[in-house]
């Protein structure tokens, strides 16, 4: 699993900082999560292939999370895209995007499929034999969802030495990797555990931006490997987080501790602070395993 941070600041773009956008690569999928202004420039800087993006997840309709989307959709057209593009986001996103396309007489030459969201309960948005993606209902000033990405269990690995020792024919290999026991000609049945090795652990990633501290969130994200949680403010500006329905670094760390996650990544920083290291210091008072998102930073898990 690879996470590329394209932008991780709140509100407006600046010379050296970008609003929210990131790319998650998981089991041969490349998912774009939020699309703030300047996202396509950041994609190029990070040498991420536009053609590999087929699913875009928009958390909410505040500009710092989707103002880059119309330009990206237009660029896909100019690049000659013909594959389907799926956009998942709040109700209204289709109207916003198609109005711009209509006024500019620049309809896409590829299928643009919108999946508009209204449910306040967790909802499966995407599923195949490798990955599931579901919404994480959040508490912000407008209708907002985070997204939970989970790998499905990998196949068990063949223990080649054991398979050879029992002289098992290759015709059984697929079933063995699928977890089945193997009957032998002499009447014995070899348990699958003797013929296979445990696969790598399936990974999970929870993306939570933007939201006020939401205690019941822990139930859905309990035990995830990686939690990205917004930390717009420090505790010294807690009054602003309440007013704007954002979270502090301390609250993000509290959520990570409550949900027993493996690692916490902080992001969505207010630009009022001179150093984002302050966010890490505040969070580590509550939760030990804290990382800072930075524009251009790549996490490999």
Q: Tokens 């034999």 — which residue?
A: 129
Among 254, 253, 277, CA closest to 265: 253
Taking each helix axis from N to C end, the angle separating 277-284 and 249-258, rounded to the nearest 10 degrees, works out to: 40
HEC-encoded secondary structure of 278-297: HHHHHHHCCCCCEEECCCCC
Strand partners, 298: 4
Start-end of H helices in the chain: 39-45, 63-66, 69-78, 93-103, 160-165, 173-177, 217-221, 238-244, 249-258, 277-284
Whether omega before 210 lies within 30 degrees of 0, making that bond cis, reads: yes
Locate the DSSP E strands across 97-225. 112-117, 124-127, 131-137, 145-151, 157-158, 182-183, 189-190, 196-197, 204-208
Q: How far is CA 37 from the centre of its chain?
A: 19
Start-end of H helices in 8-159: 39-45, 63-66, 69-78, 93-103
The catalytic residue positions are 64
């Amino acid at each position: 699993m690879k996470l590329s941070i394209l932008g991780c600041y709140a509100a407006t773009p600046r010379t050296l900082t970008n609003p929210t956008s990131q790319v998650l690569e998981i089991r041969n999928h490349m998912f774009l999560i939020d699309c703030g202004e300047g996202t396509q420039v950041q994609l190029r800087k990070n040498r991420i292939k536009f053609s590999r993006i087929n699913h875009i997840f928009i958390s909410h309709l505040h500009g710092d999370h989707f103002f880059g989307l119309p330009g990206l959709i237009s660029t896909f057209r100019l690049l000659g895209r013909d594959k389907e593009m799926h956009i998942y986001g709040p109700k209204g996103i289709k109207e916003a995007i198609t109005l711009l396309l209509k006024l500019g007489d620049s309809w896409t030459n590829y299928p643009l499929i919108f999946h508009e969201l209204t449910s306040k309960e967790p909802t499966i948005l995407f599923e195949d034999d490798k990955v599931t993606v579901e919404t994480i209902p959040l508490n912000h000033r407008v209708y907002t969802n985070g997204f939970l990405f989970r790998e499905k269990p990998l196949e068990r690995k063949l223990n080649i030495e054991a398979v050879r020792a029992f002289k098992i024919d290759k015709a059984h290999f697929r079933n063995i990797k699928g977890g089945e026991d193997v009957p032998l000609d002499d009447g014995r049945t070899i348990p699958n555990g003797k013929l296979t090795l445990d696969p790598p652990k399936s990974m999970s990633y929870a993306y939570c931006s933007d939201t006020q501290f939401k205690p019941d969130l822990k139930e859905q994200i309990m035990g995830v490997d990686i939690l990205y949680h917004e930390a717009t403010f420090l505790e010294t500006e807690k009054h602003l987080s309440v007013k704007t329905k954002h979270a502090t670094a301390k609250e993000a760390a509290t959520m990570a501790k409550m949900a027993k996650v493996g690692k916490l990544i902080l992001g969505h920083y207010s630009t009022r602070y001179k150093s984002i290291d302050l966010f890490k210091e505040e969070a580590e008072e509550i939760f030990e395993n804290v990382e800072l998102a930075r524009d251009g930073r790549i996490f490999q898990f």
